[in-house]
Structure 1
Amino acid sequence: MKKNVLTVLMLSSGLILTACNDSNNDSERPPSDNIDVNHIKDPVVGTPTAYSLTDMSAIAADSVVLTYKMKGISGNEVQATSLVFTPKTAAPAGGWPIVAWAHGTTGVADICAPSRNVMNPAIQSMIAKFLALGYVVVAPDYEGLGEPGNKELHPFLNLKSEGYSITDAVVATRNWLGNKASSKWVAVGHSQGGQAALGAAQYAARANLDYKGTVAVAPASHLGLILSAGELSVANAPPAKQIPVYASLDTFTALITAGLRDTNPNLTYNQIFKSPTDQIAQNAETVCYDTLGQQFGVAMGKYAAMNGTLNGYPRTVDGFMSLPVVKTFLDKDSQALQVQIKTPITIYQGGADTTVPIVATNALNATAQAFGTQVNYITNPSWDHNTAYALNIDNIVADAKEMLSAR
């Protein structure tokens, strides 16, 4: 088991070693995508509609769902949705600064979009603090998640798609608010949203505005490492401890598969999952994260009750991470900080996090350093995936304020 863990860590470190030994010195050049400035004409679609699933009237002047145009993963213009909250204070000279909030994993189906659901109380608390400081909060659903046409699935954890979802939502919001909104903006996110916020840092130039920095909490990264390390962490545990871990891992794998299928329709669930688990996995396209995880867990529980073990339970296909489309996604399309970022980045990570283990974020930080990116990396051994965010809301708000105040 120790040998397998070492192998996983060495494979993950390969990205870092490659960065250090790149003779072309690509780390000193911005990615070509960063010159892809948003020139979309009339980026706001129709008139924003009221968001009332969570009552924000005490803290926000406007709470709306804004439909906007963005450049999609296919390279074509698509429509997406975003929550937008404006402060009750009068806009100052130069306009309200903008905070882009990138949400954590909800699923890939439109029904899972935050704009179609009640807001988490901790997120509501954070947004209230930003509004009290006189900031506009832009909270995109991401490409394909909640989009009006119900034509595409969300490209789950695709860094560029998430980055463009954020930059183009910020551009559309400024178009809607006019001179009430400042050109200054920052990105803040947790979990999938932490990764998305790092994507916004990489592709910030697309907005062609005064981007000031990113705060990312427990950002998803090194997904192959997370999946492999998760498997090993409970390999010899009893079923009661294995089931929640395996169900979570399989849920993320199913969501990744669903997201990949939008641009790779020939990819099938039975290439990733063994039968009959592939039938559960395909539900990723219609149900949300929590429900899908429960379905995986219930099936495992029934098997364990009958057999006293999960040995032999049909989960993922051996070697599925080596499929070319999956490997490209894991190594490249989902991975943040593989170019140098010169704007401020703060990352919070807990040592007790079992969703995004600290070993993955340590590797992310090492990758960033290898490319010359400086990260303010803050860790605590007692934080788990949720408390790394919930216990640091005041710090996150202060970080964003400091970034927006910098000249």
Structure 2
Amino acid sequence: MPSMAQSHLFTNISDALAYEHQTTLPDSPFYTSPLSVQNNQTWPGAVIRIERANNYTLPDGIIAWRILYHSLDAEKQDVISSAVVLLPAGTQPSGGWPLVAWAHGTSGVAQSCAPSRMKNLYYGNEGLFEFPKSGLAVVATDYHGLGTSGAHQYMNKLAQAYDVIYAVAAAQSAFPQLAKDWVSDGHSQGGMASWSVAELEKEAKNKHYLGTVSVSGTINMLDFIDPLPKEKGAPFYFPMVAFGLQARYPTFDVHTALTPAGYEHYPLIASSGCWYAGYAAYSSQTSSQIMQPGWTNLPVVRRMLAENEIGTSPVQGPMMVLTGGGDTSVPPEGVRKTAVKSCKNGVSLFFHLYPGLDHDPTMTQSVQDQINWIKDRFAHKPFVGNCGAF
């Protein structure tokens, strides 16, 4: 769930849309105005546009900037993504501010659902601001298609990881006060993205990449979209998954996955409604009501599951993997099983389960643990994993 979601669990779509309108900044040409014909820098990570952001609700002293930059989609085609850079208050340390590349959880799939268009940056009240308050700079990507034009390849580990990685490159080129060393951190959808970042950085052999934090990550996609009855799950995400499938595989027909009841509100979430609207539209419905029987066995879904597999590839740097024992959105047993599989495949990680915590509280109540672990990476302290102990 997004920031403050637990106190705003609307079941009426009109109320949800009104709340989203209230917490969203006005439309800005920053995201969509034509690019300068003189801007011929199109490599991934190249900065397109920068502007100081003075319209967020931020803690005292934190400075925010919006950036527009080139990235890649899942097929390594050039796309344009947006992000926010948060600079801490106080005296810049020698070598620059250590950098956290933040990957957010599901905000929606429509262009209007970019966290950088939200007054509190979506996760502001859920721990994001604690990072700059602790002396860590942040670059927080929106993911392509959120904010910028183009279809958001929702729940695709490659597309989201590229957006994170190239947000770092863009931020470091635009802000010399940032250090070269960085870590990735993400929650939910972002927990999968941050893990994928670790895999890609292993291929790149990036010495400045120091590790990953994955919190309640959708690192076991089959468990996420087809949970066991005892795991409950969150079917209101599944129409968004259908959107992501069509964005990734354009010939896919969403009607093969959605029932007529499931499609009823699909145009809304595909065009303008974000997380709250999606929750209101589908929260009272079961998976069998909104999704076609056997939809997870569709060839395109199996292709998506194969592309998003986590735990079989080596990673760069150590990992911290966190989950909540009471998580009803991303089943914790699926997260644990993926961590066990990763350990068996030689990945060095630390796993921790917070007993009884649901999806959002796991993020909120683990923030200080995340910050402490991240600071240890920047201090180059020895990493102690716990493979075999969970």
TM range, smaller chain: 0.7 to 0.9
Alignment counterpart, residue 257 of structure 1, candidates 238, 242, 252:
242
Between Structure 1 and Structure 2, whose CA radius of gyration is higher? Answer: 1
CA distance in 2: counterparts of 1:82 and 1:121, whole angstroms: 13
Tell me which residue corresponds to 2:32.
none
Q: Deviations over 1:154-185 (max 9, x none)?
A: 1111111111111100000000012x211100
Higher helix share: 1
Instruction: Say whether residues 1:166 and 2:140 are aligned partners.
Output: no
Task: Tell me the secondary structure at the aligned position of residue 392 of structure 1.
Answer: helix
Tell me which residue corresponds to 1:349.
323
Instruction: Say whether residues 1:404 and 2:378 are aligned partners.
Output: yes
Instruction: Say whether residues 1:197 and 2:194 are aligned partners.
Output: yes
Tell me which residue corresponds to 1:368.
342
CA distance in 2: counterparts of 1:317 and 1:209, whole angstroms: 46
Task: Tell me the secondary structure at the aligned position of residue 219 of structure 1.
Answer: coil
AA partner of residue 354 (structure 2): N
Mean CA deviation greater in 71-80 or 101-110: 71-80
Alignment counterpart, residue 303 of structure 2, candidates 311, 328, 332:
328
Compared with structure 1, are the counterparts of its residues 283 and 373 closer, same or farther at alpha carbon in structure 2 (3 Å cutoff)?
A: same
Alignment counterpart, residue 281 of structure 1, candidates 240, 255, 266:
266
Q: Deviations over 1:91-128 (max 9, x none)?
A: 33322111111111111111111001122786357344
Identity %: 24
Tell me which residue corresponds to 1:59.
61
Compared with structure 1, are the counterparts of its residues 381 and 126 closer, same or farther at alpha carbon in structure 2 (3 Å cutoff)?
A: closer
- CA positional deviation for 1:371: 1.4
Q: Deviations over 1:277-323 (max 9, x none)?
A: 3232343312212212211246x4xxxxxxxxx89x74311121121
Compared with structure 1, are the counterparts of its residues 39 and 203 closer, same or farther at alpha carbon in structure 2 (3 Å cutoff)?
A: farther
Compared with structure 1, are the counterparts of its residues 89 and 297 closer, same or farther at alpha carbon in structure 2 (3 Å cutoff)?
A: closer
- CA positional deviation for 1:338: 2.2
- CA positional deviation for 1:326: 0.9
Alignment counterpart, residue 355 of structure 2, candidates 364, 381, 388:
381
Normalization by structure 1: what TM-score?
0.77
Mean CA deviation greater in 381-390 or 99-108: 381-390
Task: Tell me the secondary structure at the aligned position of residue 199 of structure 1.
Answer: helix
Task: Tell me the secondary structure at the aligned position of residue 213 of structure 1.
Answer: strand
Tell me which residue corresponds to 1:30.
none
Tell me which residue corresponds to 1:224.
222
Q: Deviations over 1:322-345 (max 9, x none)?
A: 211111112x22232320224110
CA distance in 2: counterparts of 1:218 and 1:174, whole angstroms: 28
Query: Do the aligned residues in 2 keep the contact of 1:51 with 1:83 (CA within 8 Å)?
Result: no
Task: Tell me the secondary structure at the aligned position of residue 46 of structure 1.
Answer: strand
Instruction: Say whether residues 1:295 and 2:281 are aligned partners.
Output: yes
Tell me which residue corresponds to 2:86.
85
Query: Do the aligned residues in 2 keep the contact of 1:59 with 1:128 (CA within 8 Å)?
Result: no
Instruction: Say whether residues 1:46 and 2:49 are aligned partners.
Output: yes
Structure 2 unpaired stretches of 5+: 1-40, 382-390
Instruction: Say whether residues 1:138 and 2:139 are aligned partners.
Output: yes
AA partner of residue 289 (structure 1): W
- What is the RMSD computed on CA atoms of the aligned residues? 2.5
CA distance in 2: counterparts of 1:358 and 1:349, whole angstroms: 6
Structure 1 unpaired stretches of 5+: 1-37, 235-244, 301-309
Tell me which residue corresponds to 2:16.
none
CA distance in 1: counterparts of 2:152 and 2:214, whole angstroms: 21
- 1:86-165 equivalences in 2 (<5 Å): 86-119=87-120, 123-124=124-125, 126-147=127-148, 150=149, 152-165=150-163
- CA positional deviation for 1:395: 1.0
Task: Tell me the secondary structure at the aligned position of residue 211 of structure 2.
Answer: strand
